[in-house]
Amino acid sequence: MTSPNTPLPGQERYVAPVEETPLHAVDAIDENAPATSMWADAWRTLRKNPLFIISALVILFIAFVALFPRIFTSVDPNYCTLDYSRNLPSAGHPFGYDMQGCDIYSRVIYGTRTSLTVGIATTLLVIIFGGLIGAIAGYFGGWVDALLSRLVDIFYAVPLLLGAIVVLQMFRTSTSIWKIVLVMAMFGWVSIARIARSSVLEAKNLEFNTASTALGSTPARNLFRHIIPNALAPVLVVGTTSLASYIVLEATLSFLGLGMPSGTVSWGGDISSAQTMLRTQPMILFYPSVALAITALAFIMLGDAVRDALDPKSRTE
């Protein structure tokens, strides 16, 4: 009687000698190599992406212009005289003058600070508030998730631009840059909250959360120490691309006369003032429009590059 481990005829297996299969070099693990993380892998990918390099350089230049406008022009953007109304470009004034006799180049340079401040401040508020609401809803679930999700649905039903117009019309007596930021953040946090909730729902079921709970970690510690850092990637991607939307939204509100207060240099305000001269002198409207388009495009390109770097599937392709 044959043993159960004895192969039947035709089922013999060939086992090659160890010296003929030198797989140790392929399967070996470098124990001295530093530990990597998702963020380290993403940064390694970003450094090789031309889209990220170009967009980052453009954004750095725009930020430098916003911080140090006097390096690029010595003309006061609020100094306007009708004697120079619609004058053509000249030495020291490469873009010419608008209808009020203001230097267009100087206003484009100083308008960078307004647009960038509004975009960055709104994005930070949206990420902090929306990300926190979505993380709490996704982690605790139950009635907490149901309550916060219904709150998100209520705000999500109101279009961002329409909601901003209605609120700004209600409080037109006092207008400031921070009022614009708060109004846009009031209706812009819902998309971040939905994405944060989905990301937290996925992250809380991973092994590290179970192990942390087994070691006695509290739910709040798990949420802020482990869950949120591992669920932050999609929130940052959406926040980066949304920054461009907030810059364009501020320009739209200023174009409609609901944005920056009078005396504040803004690309949207200059575009609104130049619309009456679109047929006769379109270049007056062209310069602030191009500055707005380049800034928005740079942040959109940056968001695309960050999304590709933080997506494991795109890194392996």
Q: Which letter, b or e, does each residue of 4-20 get, where b requires 16 or more Cβ atoms within 10 Å of its Cβ? A: eeeeeeeeeeeeeeeee
Report mean pLDDT in 10-residue bins for the chain, 317 residues. Answer: 58 62 55 62 83 93 94 89 84 86 91 91 93 90 89 89 87 78 91 90 79 77 82 86 89 83 83 83 89 93 86 55
**CA dist 118 → 4, 128, 131, 197, 204 (Å):** 76, 16, 19, 26, 34
Q: DSSP class of residue 98? A: -
The CATH number that domain 51-316 falls under is: 1.10.3720.10
pLDDT tens digit sequence for 191-223? 899 999 988 888 887 777 777 777 777 878 888
Q: Do 291 and 95 form a contact (C-beta atoms < 8 A)?
A: no
Q: Do 201 and 138 form a contact (C-beta atoms < 8 A)?
A: yes
Q: DSSP class of residue 56? A: H
pTM here is 0.81
What three-state secondary structure class fits 14?
coil
pLDDT tens digit sequence for 154-199? 988 888 888 888 888 887 766 778 888 999 999 999 989 999 998 8
